[in-house]
Each structure stands twice: as C-alpha cells, then as structure tokens.
Amino acid sequence: MNMQSPTLDKGAADAPFYMPQGSECELFEAAYETNMPLLLKGPTGCGKTRFVSHMAARLGRPLYTVACHDDLSAADLIGRYLLKGGDTVWADGPLTRAVREGAICYLDEVVEARKDVTVVLHPLTDDRRILPIDRTGETLEAAPGFMLVASYNPGYQNILKTLKPSTRQRFLSATFDFPPMDQEVAIVAQESGLESDRCQNLVRLAGKFRALKGQDIEEGVSTRLVIYTATLIAKGMPLEQAIHAAMIEPLSDDEDVQQGLNDIVTAVFG
C-alpha cells in the first residue's frame, strides 16, 4: 500500500502546481465545506492525483493517499492489531487516521480494491459520517475537516470491477480528461523546464498515441509521461531516445506496436 504521510501545508501559495480545466476546484471546495464525498473519474495520468494534492494544500488539510490494488482490504484502511515488544497493540489504518484527525483521505483507483472496502465507506458517505471499528468496538465520528475522495478510470471498468450504483450515488462526481493542447503544452513546459515550442510537438505526439487507445495500446499516453519525456530532453537526452524511454516503452512491450509508434514519431518530427 502506498500511503503519503500527512503534512499541514501553508496554503495555495505552496500547493503543487495544477492548472484547472474548468470549475473542478470550486466543486472540490464546495464538497469540502458541505461534508460531501467526491468521486473523480478519468483516464490514468490525466491529473486526478495532482488535483487532490493541490486542493489539500490549498485548503490547508493533511492528506492521506492510498493507492488501491487487488489485495487492499478494509482492514488495510481501518487498522489491525500488531505485535509490538511482546504486546498486542492496535494500529490505525490511513482511513481511520484521517477520520480521527479531520484529514482528506484519497483512495486512488478505488475499484481495484476488494469488495469489502466499499462497505466500510458507506457510513462515511452519508449524514452519519461515522466509521465503525468492529475489532475495537469503537464508532468514530469524523472530525471536522474530514473529506473522502476517491477516483477510478472508467476505461478499465468491467463486470467484476465497477462501482455499484448504491456506492456511486453517495458521491458528488467530476469527470477529468487530458487537457486541451495549449493547456497541456503549458503544463509540460512548467513541470519540465523545456521551452514551450519544443513541448508542442511532444503534446501533438501524445494526442496521436491516445487516438490508438483500445486498438494497438490499452491506454493512451499520460500527461505524466509527456512531462517525463520533456524533462529528459531538457536535461540533454536526444529526442528519439527520450521519447522511446518515456513514451513508447511504457505503452507496449510488443515490437510491432513499438515500431508503429516509432513511425508516428517520424511523421510528427520529420
């Protein structure tokens, strides 16, 4: 489990860089102020996690980030008894700590977690805002400032991995996508330090790769990978080598697919 240690940030001035695409920042603030949970939907690498980090800093709240996976259980979120120095002691999980402290808890790719996780979330996503802990007999009321945020990629949904309507309808929802080209160029330039005019063709290339999603590749290239590519180029790596390492290799292991992607690189950069 990947968990980010909570820290109190100084506010928007120190928030991680994030460029809004619409009114998502206002929606997040409204959800926070009215004690409503928020569900973020969108493809991998389009900025959902950065957005949550930005908003937590902007609101001055501690943030616990949990990367959900197939083996993540409710106990991983709530906590468990551990042996410590010959004694058995209770250790809170990240969700429990967030509830106690009034922090933001972000469950990234929540549909990847085991089914018992969503059952635990239900009492926290209505007006009760409670977390029952069966093993200790406690029922925690969420401290002021607690907010539950979850995300998932609808493109990976299947009959076994989707949120039930009874869970989805407990959340406000916002759909994310890759930024428009000019915005993505500005983001890549800001994050990588590469000149904007050199970032432009990288973003064009990413758009052409994304058009292949569901055909030759499972997922389109993320903005994160475009930033990685631009960063390597800014550090002096040759263009083709940077693109191969940061955009082509991460997308596919198939040699024929990689060759097809290289052909697109040639067409874009000449």
Judged by average pLDDT, the poorest of 24-38, 166-180, 229-243 is: 166-180
Residue 221 tokens read as 């290239």
Choose among 133, 137, 115: nearest CA to 124: 133
| Residue 86 banded pLDDT, cuts 50, 70, 90 | confident
Asked if pLDDT for residue 157 goes beyond 60, the answer is no
- Spatial neighbors of 21 by CB under 8 A, at least 6 apart, are 176, 177, 179, 180, 183
Asked if pLDDT for residue 220 goes beyond 90, the answer is no
Q: Strand ranges (DSSP E) for the chain?
A: 38-41, 63-67, 79-84, 87-92, 104-108, 130-133, 138-141, 147-152, 172-175
For range 57-82, the mean pLDDT: 95
Q: Are 191 and 147 in contact (CB under 8 A)?
A: no
Judged by average pLDDT, the poorest of 42-56, 146-160, 212-226 is: 146-160
Q: Are 223 and 187 in contact (CB under 8 A)?
A: yes
pLDDT digits (tens, 9 = 90+) for 224-251: 999 999 999 999 999 999 999 999 999 9
Residue 234 tokens read as 């800014």
* pTM summary value: 0.88
For range 64-89, the mean pLDDT: 93
For range 57-61, the mean pLDDT: 96
For range 168-187, the mean pLDDT: 95
Specify the 3-state DSSP secondary structure of 31: helix
Choose among 159, 59, 161: nearest CA to 106: 59
Asked if pLDDT for residue 215 goes beyond 60, the answer is yes
Q: Are 152 and 41 in contact (CB under 8 A)?
A: yes
Q: What is the pLDDT of residue 11?
A: 54
| Residue 156 banded pLDDT, cuts 50, 70, 90 | low
Pairing verdict, β 87-92 and 79-84: antiparallel
Asked if pLDDT for residue 45 goes beyond 70, the answer is yes
Q: What is the pLDDT of residue 158?
A: 52
Q: What is the pLDDT of residue 2?
A: 41
pLDDT over 70 percentage in the chain: 93
